[in-house]
Amino acid sequence: MTTSQKNILVLTILVVLNIVVLFSVHYWRKSHQVTLETHRPKSVGIGGPAIEAFDRSTDRWIEEMKAESIEESFALLNDLYEYRYSKITEYSGFDSMSFDTHEDRENKLYKYAVPQALSNRRFLKALEDLKKLSRSECVKLLTQCIQDNLKEKIRLYELDTVGTVMNKGLYRDNWALYLGESEGGNDFYRSRRKPGTDITQFACRYGILSCVLLAGQLELGKEMRPVIEEVIQQAKREYALYNSLGDDANSFKWVTISESLYNPSVLVTGTLCDRSWNAELKKELVNKGKLINRETVDYRARTTEYDWPAAEGWINPEPFNSKLPFRYYEKITDEEFNAAFP
């Protein structure tokens, strides 16, 4: 074989090898449904088919959210199936339904509001998006989202809750909350409300309380106060109805308080939007250690701390870009709530 022939053979082998590599990379990318834009460095740790499937579904969900406008994202904040940390839906049996004391409500209901919010990547996206807008734009978006959900919440409250009490049918939905229907047949890459299904009080509650928490992250001034005060007034009405029910309506009481907007910690967190709102009480709450400052991952993170790979210790929750500061009040009592909103 001549030198020229040897050179041609070597060149041919190199070309073939390059083609094989290119096709291998293309096949891997296609099979994992990951683009260069969405691919995130994977942490070193336990892997396997379950983790790979989780990564693929997460990347698909992130791509979907990236294509949304901020208005579209806010309109979907009431989809309770996207909040992955929904402990309230796990209760069953008579003992677990007891909300008679503030301690019961704190341990079984109130304290889960922040984890529920932070477990939803769309909530995290909304938080990121708000930080890019002007104060007036933030006020407009949050106010509209709260008003839309509050209007529907009040309508359903009057129809389903007050109407049921007036008719003495105190066993609405028996032992369960009406959550709405979840969607199937979407390759199970994420859970979401089935399009076209009716909104529920419980879903409206998620949307409203999420927006109140978001308002508390941004110093928007007095412009946000009127709509938050509307939420507070409705929350008081719902809590008063709950307290008016007797022991002969335990299952109905459980549904009523679970659907209610009354959550002292979340509603007081909303006042953080305006420095002058309850300024003295806020100092007291800081001294009591009730103001929590923490950080959370951004919505494009490989996992949030509430996704199962992080919850089970398989993957560390690390941000895609940088962590987001998040502040809220916890363990606010009825007395402190009444002091904030007499």
What does the pLDDT profile of the chain (342 residues) look like in tens digits?
554 544 444 344 443 344 433 444 344 344 443 333 444 445 445 668 889 999 999 999 999 999 999 999 999 999 988 888 765 544 444 445 678 899 999 988 899 999 999 999 999 999 999 999 999 999 999 999 999 999 999 999 998 888 877 766 555 544 445 667 777 656 667 788 888 888 999 999 999 999 999 999 999 999 999 999 999 999 999 999 999 988 777 778 888 898 999 999 999 999 999 999 999 999 999 999 999 999 999 999 999 999 999 988 899 999 999 999 999 999 999 999 999 999
| Displacement of CA 180 from its chain's centroid (Å) | 17
Helix, strand or coil for residue 53?
helix
| pLDDT for res 96 | 56
How far, in Å, are 127, 189, 283, 341 from residue 275 at the CA level? Answer: 19, 41, 11, 15
DSSP state of 17: H
Select from 161, 162, 156 the least CA-distant residue to 180. Answer: 156
| pLDDT for res 161 | 84
| pLDDT for res 117 | 96
Concatenating the DSSP letter of every residue in 19-51 gives HHHHHHHHHHHHHHT--TTT--PPPSS--SHHH
| pLDDT for res 330 | 97
Q: Looking at beta carbons, which pairs linking 274-277 to residues 24 or more positions away fall under 8 Å?
A: 274/219, 274/220, 274/221, 274/222, 274/224, 274/225, 275/219, 276/222, 277/222, 277/225
CA–CA gap between residue 55 and residue 42 (Å, rounded): 9
**Is residue 171 within 8 Å of 251, Cβ to Cβ?**
yes
How far, in Å, are 65, 86, 136, 321 from residue 130 at the CA level? Answer: 15, 25, 11, 16
| pLDDT for res 86 | 61
CA–CA gap between residue 154 and residue 161 (Å, rounded): 10
CA–CA gap between residue 251 and residue 316 (Å, rounded): 40
**Is residue 77 within 8 Å of 123, Cβ to Cβ?**
yes
CA–CA gap between residue 116 and residue 99 (Å, rounded): 19
**Is residue 171 within 8 Å of 248, Cβ to Cβ?**
no
**Is residue 240 within 8 Å of 261, Cβ to Cβ?**
no
**Is residue 300 within 8 Å of 69, Cβ to Cβ?**
no
| pLDDT for res 193 | 84
Tell me the residue type at 319: P
Residue 340 backbone dihedrals phi, psi, to 5 degrees: -75, -35
How far, in Å, are 59, 134, 191, 318 from residue 307 at the CA level? Answer: 14, 32, 13, 12
| pLDDT for res 39 | 44
Read off the pTM. 0.83
**Is residue 297 within 8 Å of 97, Cβ to Cβ?**
no
